[in-house]
Structure 1
């Protein structure tokens, strides 16, 4: 495929942002123009150029709204929201960067301004969770009181509840599904504004969300779907292994085992020493990882990973990673489950292992580079993913409804 940026990570995140164009989150010309002004691996330029365009769109949205053009205003607000999210992406790391705080605040501001202009604006919610709450949005597919299937959306390492509208929410609403999107521990506002980091037992997060969803008007109690993408592709099936009120679960390009997925990127002889092998070799690995973390784009994932887990030592990340595993839990998942991987994505390379180990109704799809869908989470080809997954979901939920009636 033709590239707009030379650096692999910059290109991947550009495609991620641009991939939301079918759902109102981007414009090709704007994204291409931004890319043309960023050179090499200049992280400051990345932040500044995406922010500048987002700010310009915010101003244009304000002018359109003042002129009574709600459609143009909504479009500009939504694109501004996505671009502010993209601007802050590479500032993730510890200590918390003030630019990330600002970018996230402006992402939320513009998303909510745009969402308020939808035909059916979402309900901004706080979902009761332990001693606090989880921020999110409930989108209704229609205004009537009919019970409808509802998607509960789970994000990954660096996503936000607002981004979930573009990744899966808009597509679901178009097909008559309600949508509940939220930030869990380690994600979006929970991480940036409230300082709450990830936890491996995601069922402790999803069960309160399901409780909340079942109290919402219009939510069919037997047609709840949990859909996770990226790291959410681990979190969703992990939750489904305990939360059995779900009709279906979707794992979109998630890791089967976080340690295996992470350690596979390390030199083999050093990776074999984890977690508590030869002290000298572990010190050498620590030195190597510290050097990697200093690199602008090559070290970003590790800097981000430490932040979302509340860690400071890269070796501690690899010692913690085995807690995030589906090994031995697959047989606990009872609901119908859709598992997918992308041809060029090393994070989801072990998705077939998860699929084979499942003891429930299931489907596996590998998305291919020849179809433009070979990147992580089918970035740039979300419409193809949605065609596949909603055809499967419609079939599963129809079968479940028929069984419920016959029973």
Structure 2
């Protein structure tokens, strides 16, 4: 998840209720949801997935609260960048090829971000097909091409991408299994983590399970909480197919945002993982989501009045004074959990807690917290406390203090790999 708030706070203006001076960085939009989305997308530049000025130009053109406009601005940028990628003069150099295609894919993903309120919107398929195609051109031009794989699970298929750190497939290297969370794609995390993992001599496997972007689209499956059903088949695949390249004593699992719950859950049931990183410690996702409801909605929800709650929650989507975080949180949550009821979406998050399984984790765990966390405030500390001596808490402050460090990915990588070096050698 690129945003901390799923429901957010309804400000009087519908947008930011704080000044630039109160934020850790210059704002790219007075709409806080748009600001974070563009800041994160711009941060992909360090992994070859963006250029700075085009994002800043897009920031000038977006209109706070206008989801369609946001999509139009970024789809235009994506098409312009795609035209550059298709220019024969661009193809002389694999670095040109991959960076241009990677940027194209990034911009199409940004265009898709706020369009999930209408499940039949053809752009949801068009933009995603475009980003998949563009990203595949990018990974094909890597020094060691990335490999898309489909991993059979019990009643679904895990969508994954394998990245080798070296063409020498007889050298066993440390390997990281990397998963995103609520909304971001596995393609996103190439730029924020995988490129930097490869540069340090680690292999990487990214993956998506039910509820995550490509599996949700291709298999029509909403989120499940038993994430061991996703990660264990991925570990099986690696040990059966990539064993000559993997140092099994340095097999790490990384979970980003809601992935902080998902990875912890998987690690509780997967003993072959040797270290876990939770980029956002989540103790109880439902507690975080439900706590963001405005008081009147919270009263309806807690009283179990499903129909009245759904009617009130869905009516919010038509209120132009509602924050983009709240509107996006409802729309995307319904889509990702594959339900039409906001009540059912929230109820569906109840099993997303580590309370009853965290004592099953027997390996070192790095837990990230953020100065400007928002929805899961206090939960990373709670996860660390429950882990006892196995847990290490790292707090990101200042310009790196937004949820999952948008725009501060180099600092994120420095912290992650310093801990891995200390923990696994």
Indicate whether the TM-score tops 0.5: yes
Structure 1 residue 239 corresponds to structure 2 residue 263: no
Q: Which runs of 5+ in 1 are unaligned?
A: 399-407
Partner of 1:332: 360
Partner of 2:84: 60
Which sits farther off after the overlay, 125-134 or 286-295?
286-295
Partner of 1:267: 294
Write the distance in 1 (CA, Å) between the matches of 2:365 and 2:263.
Answer: 10
Q: 1:193 deviation in Å?
A: 2.0
Partner of 1:72: 96
Residues 155, 232 of structure 1: 8 Å contact kept: yes
User: How many pairs does the alignment contain?
Assistant: 393
Partner of 1:172: 197
Which sits farther off after the overlay, 213-222 or 81-90?
213-222
Partner of 2:110: 86
Write the distance in 2 (CA, Å) between the matches of 1:337 and 1:136.
Answer: 23
Structure 1 residue 139 corresponds to structure 2 residue 139: no
Which sits farther off after the overlay, 308-317 or 56-65?
56-65
Q: TM-score, normalised by structure 1?
A: 0.92
Write the distance in 1 (CA, Å) between the matches of 2:123 and 2:72.
Answer: 10
Write the distance in 2 (CA, Å) between the matches of 1:94 and 1:288.
Answer: 18
Partner of 1:12: 36
Q: How does 1:263-342 map onto structure 2 within 5 Å?
A: 263-268=290-295, 271=298, 274-275=301-302, 277=303, 279=305, 285-295=309-319, 297=324, 298-342=326-370
Q: 1:69 deviation in Å?
A: 2.9
Which sits farther off after the overlay, 1-10 or 283-292?
283-292
Residues 13, 86 of structure 1: 8 Å contact kept: yes
Q: 1:67 deviation in Å?
A: 4.7
Partner of 1:401: none
Q: Deviations over 1:160-191 (max 9, x none)?
A: 12112112111111111100011211112111
Structure 1 residue 28 corresponds to structure 2 residue 52: yes
Please report the RMSD computed on the Cα atoms of aligned residues, expressed in angstroms: 1.8
Q: Which runs of 5+ in 2 are unaligned?
A: 1-24
Question: In the superposition, relative to structure 1, how do residues 53 and 278 fare at CA in structure 2: closer, same or farther (>3 Å)?
Answer: closer
Q: Deviations over 1:17-59 (max 9, x none)?
A: 0111111111110100111111222211111111111111111
Write the distance in 2 (CA, Å) between the matches of 1:354 and 1:272.
Answer: 28
Q: Deviations over 1:218-240 (max 9, x none)?
A: 01222111101011111000111
Write the distance in 2 (CA, Å) between the matches of 1:364 and 1:96.
Answer: 42
Residues 347, 376 of structure 1: 8 Å contact kept: no
Structure 1 residue 366 corresponds to structure 2 residue 395: yes
Q: Deviations over 1:197-235 (max 9, x none)?
A: 110010111111110111213012221111010111110
Write the distance in 2 (CA, Å) between the matches of 1:200 and 1:18.
Answer: 31
Which residue among 144, 151, 173 is the counterpart of 1:127? 151
Partner of 1:405: none
Partner of 2:237: 212
Write the distance in 2 (CA, Å) between the matches of 1:269 and 1:295.
Answer: 15
Partner of 2:417: 390
Structure 1 residue 355 corresponds to structure 2 residue 391: no
Q: 1:65 deviation in Å?
A: 5.8
Q: 1:70 deviation in Å?
A: 2.5
Partner of 1:230: 257
Per chain length, whose mean CA-contact separation is higher, i.e. which structure has more relative contact order (CA < 8 Å, sep 6+)?
A: 2
Write the distance in 1 (CA, Å) between the matches of 2:416 and 2:388.
Answer: 20
Residues 15, 379 of structure 1: 8 Å contact kept: yes
Q: 1:71 deviation in Å?
A: 1.9
Question: In the superposition, relative to structure 1, how do residues 356 and 268 fare at CA in structure 2: closer, same or farther (>3 Å)?
Answer: farther
Q: 1:94 deviation in Å?
A: 5.1
Q: TM-score, normalised by structure 2?
A: 0.88
Write the distance in 2 (CA, Å) between the matches of 1:324 and 1:189.
Answer: 21
Matched residue of 2:113: which SS? helix
Question: In the superposition, relative to structure 1, how do residues 68 and 335 fare at CA in structure 2: closer, same or farther (>3 Å)?
Answer: same
Matched residue of 2:314: which SS? helix
